[in-house]
Chain A
Amino acid sequence: MQTDRRQFLVSVAQAGAAISVGSQLPWFWRQAMGSSPAPGGDKILVVLQLSGGNDGLNTVIPYRDEQYRKARPKLGIPAKDVLKINDDLGFHPAARGLANLLESRRLAIVQGVGYPEPNRSHFESMDIWHTCLRKGGPRTTGWLGRGFDAAVAVRPTDTIGIHLGEGKQPLALSAERARIPSLSSPDKFRLQGKADEVAGALRALASSPASSDDLLGYLQTSTQSALAASERITAALRDYHTPVAYPDHALGAKFKTVAQLITAQLDTRVFYLELDGFDTHSQQPAVHATLLQQASGAVEAFLDDMVHHQLADRVLVMCFSEFGRRVAENASEGTDHGAAAPMFLAGTQVKPGLLGAQPSLTDLDDGDLKFHTDFRQVYATVLQSWLGWDSRAVLGGEFNAVPAIDVT
């Protein structure tokens, strides 16, 4: 490698790019929840998407139900192995983190979540969860993206939301104006270069008036935003310490990065993470156990870290998947795409325990569990009672919140 190659940070002196601490966005009081904003800073939502269709029935398990045993002779988890929640339901043994969170009163389980006329295509169903729209009309913005646009209109920022992941950004974050940085790892978020002039040219040209051409304009504003956000995030990551041992896998590392960014007091309101691999059509037991362990362990470590940093009251983790899986196992020791499944909300401000009944294993929708709670109700809860954003505008309608959040 050439020895005169230098790395440098691009520093962008942008008016108003200073890190803001403790400021509040205006938000709308919702009678139903009776909650008020906590002092000391904005609330932060961390979304964990389980991609592929998590088998909810083997996550929160009706271990005494005969139908369960009948439908899943091979995949059924033995009653003696589940981590008991109550006399009827228990967690998959690998989901130790969830059990611990429930025990420390930091987990709410919303049962039977889905939507009318369930779609069993990964991409279509995920798009529905991301945009709250069905196929037909244009689906260019995501539910969070719409929230971001409203928020940055009030107070511009490059880091209203951050995506922790490689490759494609989830459609949920897609916005008309706000640009959301994607971090695969913090050190991949800097412009390197051989000479200051190269970066200088890029910076200067990227900030020139955006082209009227749609695609080029998008590239220009993306470049601008990337440069600005890069500067702020690199500064934020420099001084972080924790006694908590995060699990040693990619998701654990990502949650740790989220913790670092939160402790740095950026004005980020939403972090979005994904864990892939839940599409267990065959050989499910080992894969599902590993993934549940990873997800639950990472969330637990993260929330414990937030406690250590005295930020626990400001953080909420929401966990979902694009659909559950069929009640009956298939002949490949796996399960096929299904419908309703549980969602999880975790943090010190949740109302701990089970919300809603376990869907019936006999009254099915073509072999799948029936939903009773629309996912948009959970979104509405999080938008109104946690983020303080206008849920009606974001979701395109009124949805009754679920009593999962109990801000004190």
Chain B
Amino acid sequence: MSNKLAAVDPRWAWEPYVPTAEQPWNLRRAAHLYRRAGFGASPTELAAAVGQSPEQVVQLLVQGEADPAEEQRASDALAQTILATGNTRQLAAWWLYVMLRTRRPLIERMTLFWHGHFATSGEKVTDATTMLDQNRLLRKHALGNFRQLAQEISRDPAMLIYLDSVTNRKVHPNENYARELMELFCLGEGNYSEKDVQELARCFTGWEIRQNRFRFNRFQHDGGSKTILGKTDVFPDGAAIDWIVDQPQSHRFIAGKLFRALICDEPEPPAELLEPLAEVLRASNWDLAPVVERILGSQLFFSPYSVGRKVRSPVELVVGLLRSLEGSANTQQLSGDVLQVGQGLFYPPNVKGWDGGRAWINASSILNRANLAGRLLTDENTRFGGGKLGEYFARQGWDVPEKALSQLDELLLAAPLTEAARARLLQVAASVQDPHQSATALVTALASLPEFQLG
């Protein structure tokens, strides 16, 4: 049956989740939280989470732990190595490395979210440093303030190049950035006119880059009066951006995007359901942490309307599988893997980012997602808890396949496996003698199931 969001009471939806007998706070629910607010969690992390209240865990995820200085240095060193090669495509390997190791997975999730929202592609912005700088900008504001993020991304060199602002001249304004700022970044299509696009474009004339930084060229800037969305003004500096961001529809537009990213892929939520979230954004003056915390801690989030109602993105698939089993892998290989099934980090397909949801699934990607899991698990560089998968199983006390499967079921799946699926998977595990290979076959088969594609 389809997800009937129209039936949801908007007041109940955003109240804090209170565990009940039907919706207990247990390992499976904790796993759901970690999957959406991060990339999944290991058995140890989940056990610890269940020992706390859901509210506490959400708070911890939103506030985040700082990564130890040594980790930060290792990550920076890796980034430097890649920048030295000038190979922009390798940035994906760096980011996956960060996602695998960070103690602030929600920040990485939100950075990825903004990367899809303010989509900019290395295909056009070929310089690695420029692309990495944008990534750092997104990370800085990932759970910060949206108005500030909008101001800074409008002056970000990668964005200026990608949407042709850098060649926006007084005599013939280039409309690209103006259109996308309204259509894709803040308001949504249909909330502005063609005339608004033309007028807004004039505000960005003379916004250029000099020595890899934003520079305002007043000789190319059209400083005259413009009329945008009913207001007539000179709109100096970034005033036009503030005007767009503060339009009445924008809070609901951003709330809608956050809803889709965190609650469920489909259907589109009714306006009444989004309105309370829009209110939180208004009340917080565009600070993002309060609304994200509200969503993650809500009744709706922990309800059947949300659990298992998103298709895992390729990144969630691989990073999720690895983090859940304390895994590490060759992230260069991984970056090629996720590219192949449709998510090239730093290379979104177009300015709309990735569509997500069912769009991740087509006849070719669905087979290749299964192939991906297989490749990852059999790769000689992949480690689980520092060793082979069979050893990891043994250390967890998963000494027989039945036990392993029950634990993996709770750890990795939104809903319990059917009896038929369980039986079939146990057959797979039993068909191989060697414990490590049996463990690998079991997890590969599990990861190939349609059920595993949901997160």
Residues of A whose CB lies within 8 Å of any CB of B are: 1-2, 5, 120-124, 135, 163, 166-169, 179-184, 188-195, 197-198, 201-202, 204-206, 208, 212-216, 218-220, 222-223, 225-227, 229-230, 276, 281-283, 328-334, 336-337, 366
The chain B residue sitting closest to A163, CB to CB, is: B362
Top 7 A-B pairs ranked by shortest CB distance? A331-B172, A181-B363, A332-B167, A219-B450, A226-B363, A182-B362, A331-B169
Name the distance in Å between B428's Cβ and chain A's nearest Cβ.
Answer: 5
Contact between B172 and A329, CB atoms less than 8 A apart: yes
Question: What's the Cα separation between A230 and B366 when bound, in Å?
Answer: 11
Within 329-383 of B, Cβ neighbours of A (below 8 Å) are at 340, 342, 349-352, 355, 358-359, 361-368, 370-371, 374, 378-380
Name, among A189, A215, A220, the residue most crowded by chain B CB atoms within 10 Å (CB to CB): A215
Residues of B whose CB lies within 8 Å of any CB of A are: 1-3, 164, 167-176, 179, 183, 189-190, 194, 265-266, 308-309, 311, 340, 342, 349-352, 355, 358-359, 361-368, 370-371, 374, 378-380, 420-421, 424-425, 427-428, 431-432, 440-441, 444-445, 448-451, 453-454
Cβ-neighbour of A183 out of B309, B342, B364, B451 (below 8 A): B364
Contact between A331 and B171, CB atoms less than 8 A apart: yes
Contact between B364 and A181, CB atoms less than 8 A apart: yes
Contact between B363 and A182, CB atoms less than 8 A apart: yes
Q: Which residues of B contact A205 (CB under 8 A)?
A: 420-421, 424, 449-450
Contact between B189 and A223, CB atoms less than 8 A apart: no
Known A-B contacts A120-B194, A184-B364; the reply to A332 vs B168 at CB < 8 A is yes
Question: What's the Cα separation between A74 and B406 when bound, in Å?
Answer: 68
Name, among B167, B172, B350, B362, the residue most crowded by chain A CB atoms within 10 Å (CB to CB): B362
Name the distance in Å between A10's Cβ and chain B's nearest Cβ.
Answer: 9
Name the distance in Å between B116's Cβ and chain A's nearest Cβ.
Answer: 13
Contact between B362 and A366, CB atoms less than 8 A apart: no
Contact between B380 and A215, CB atoms less than 8 A apart: no
Question: What's the Cα separation between A366 and B197 when bound, in Å?
Answer: 13
The chain A residue sitting closest to B440, CB to CB, is: A194
Q: Which residues of A contact B170 (CB under 8 A)?
A: 331
Question: What's the Cα separation between A218 and B308 when bound, in Å?
Answer: 13
The chain A residue sitting closest to B201, CB to CB, is: A336
Cβ-neighbour of A214 out of B1, B363, B427 (below 8 A): B1
Name the distance in Å between B399's Cβ and chain A's nearest Cβ.
Answer: 21
Contact between B444 and A191, CB atoms less than 8 A apart: no
Contact between A334 and B428, CB atoms less than 8 A apart: no
Question: What's the Cα separation between A282 and B124 when bound, in Å?
Answer: 12
Question: What's the Cα separation between A329 and B167 when bound, in Å?
Answer: 13
Name the distance in Å between A71's Cβ and chain B's nearest Cβ.
Answer: 11
Contact between B453 and A214, CB atoms less than 8 A apart: no
How many pairs of residues, A versus B, come closer than 8 Å at their CB atoms?
182
Cβ-neighbour of B374 out of A121, A169, A193 (below 8 A): A193
Cβ-neighbour of B367 out of A122, A230, A333 (below 8 A): A230
Q: Which residues of A contact B175 (CB under 8 A)?
A: 281, 330, 336-337
Q: Which residues of A contact B355 (CB under 8 A)?
A: 168
Known A-B contacts A123-B352, A204-B424; the reply to A135 vs B190 at CB < 8 A is yes
Cβ-neighbour of B432 out of A195, A330, A331 (below 8 A): A195
Contact between B311 and A215, CB atoms less than 8 A apart: yes
Question: What's the Cα separation between A216 and B310 when bound, in Å?
Answer: 10
Question: What's the Cα separation between A214 and B358 when bound, in Å?
Answer: 11
Name the distance in Å between B177's Cβ and chain A's nearest Cβ.
Answer: 10
Q: Which residues of A contact B362 (CB under 8 A)?
A: 163, 168-169, 180-182, 222
Cβ-neighbour of A168 out of B164, B183, B359, B453 (below 8 A): B359
Q: Which residues of A contact B351 (CB under 8 A)?
A: 122
Contact between B3 and A214, CB atoms less than 8 A apart: yes
Known A-B contacts A184-B364, A216-B454, A226-B363; the reply to A197 vs B427 at CB < 8 A is yes
Q: Which residues of A contact B340 (CB under 8 A)?
A: 184, 188
Contact between A201 and B194, CB atoms less than 8 A apart: no
Q: Give 9 pairs: A residue, B residue, CB < 8 Å, sorted on A.
A: A190-B367, A195-B441, A197-B427, A205-B450, A219-B361, A223-B450, A230-B363, A281-B176, A332-B172
Contact between A208 and B371, CB atoms less than 8 A apart: no
Known A-B contacts A166-B342, A219-B450, A226-B367; the reply to A124 vs B174 at CB < 8 A is no
Question: What's the Cα separation between A381 and B366 when bound, in Å?
Answer: 35
Name the distance in Å between A289's Cβ and chain B's nearest Cβ.
Answer: 18
Contact between A282 and B431, CB atoms less than 8 A apart: no
Q: Which residues of A contact B189 (CB under 8 A)?
A: 121, 123-124, 135
Q: Which residues of A contact B425 (CB under 8 A)?
A: 201
Contact between A194 and B441, CB atoms less than 8 A apart: yes
Known A-B contacts A121-B179, A182-B364, A205-B420; the reply to A194 vs B374 at CB < 8 A is yes
The chain B residue sitting closest to A276, CB to CB, is: B350
Q: Which residues of A contact B190 (CB under 8 A)?
A: 135
Name the distance in Å between B317's Cβ and chain A's nearest Cβ.
Answer: 13
Contact between B3 and A219, CB atoms less than 8 A apart: no
Question: What's the Cα separation between A123 and B445 when bound, in Å?
Answer: 38
Question: What's the Cα separation between A182 and B365 when bound, in Å?
Answer: 8
Contact between B167 and A331, CB atoms less than 8 A apart: yes
Q: Which residues of B contact A135 (CB under 8 A)?
A: 189-190
The chain B residue sitting closest to A185, CB to CB, is: B364
Q: Which residues of A contact B194 (CB under 8 A)?
A: 120, 366
Q: Which residues of A contact B424 (CB under 8 A)?
A: 201, 204-205
Question: What's the Cα separation between A282 and B160 when bound, in Å?
Answer: 12
Known A-B contacts A2-B378, A282-B164; the reply to A201 vs B428 at CB < 8 A is yes
Name the distance in Å between A153's Cβ and chain B's nearest Cβ.
Answer: 20
Question: What's the Cα separation between A204 and B431 when bound, in Å?
Answer: 16
Q: Which residues of B contact A201 (CB under 8 A)?
A: 424-425, 427-428, 445, 448
Q: Which residues of B contact A183 (CB under 8 A)?
A: 364
Contact between A121 and B183, CB atoms less than 8 A apart: yes
Name the distance in Å between B447's Cβ and chain A's nearest Cβ.
Answer: 10
Contact between B174 and A334, CB atoms less than 8 A apart: yes
Q: Which residues of A contact B350 (CB under 8 A)?
A: 122, 276
Cβ-neighbour of A202 out of B183, B358, B448 (below 8 A): B448
Name the distance in Å between B451's Cβ and chain A's nearest Cβ.
Answer: 7
Known A-B contacts A121-B189, A216-B454; the reply to A198 vs B448 at CB < 8 A is yes
Q: Which residues of A contact B363 (CB under 8 A)?
A: 179-182, 189, 222, 225-226, 229-230
Contact between A227 and B367, CB atoms less than 8 A apart: yes
Q: Which residues of B contact A188 (CB under 8 A)?
A: 340, 364, 368
Question: What's the Cα separation between A319 and B367 when bound, in Å?
Answer: 30
Contact between B365 and A197, CB atoms less than 8 A apart: no
Name the distance in Å between B122's Cβ and chain A's nearest Cβ.
Answer: 15
Contact between A219 and B174, CB atoms less than 8 A apart: no
Known: A201-B427, A222-B361; 19 extra A-B contacts, CB below 8 A, are A5-B378, A123-B352, A135-B190, A184-B364, A190-B367, A193-B374, A194-B444, A197-B432, A198-B444, A202-B449, A216-B454, A219-B311, A222-B450, A227-B367, A276-B350, A282-B164, A283-B167, A334-B164, A336-B176
Name the distance in Å between A213's Cβ and chain B's nearest Cβ.
Answer: 7
Question: What's the Cα separation between A282 and B379 when bound, in Å?
Answer: 44
Q: Which residues of B contact A5 (CB under 8 A)?
A: 378
The chain B residue sitting closest to A4, CB to CB, is: B437
Q: Which residues of B contact A229 (CB under 8 A)?
A: 363
Name the distance in Å between A72's Cβ and chain B's nearest Cβ.
Answer: 12
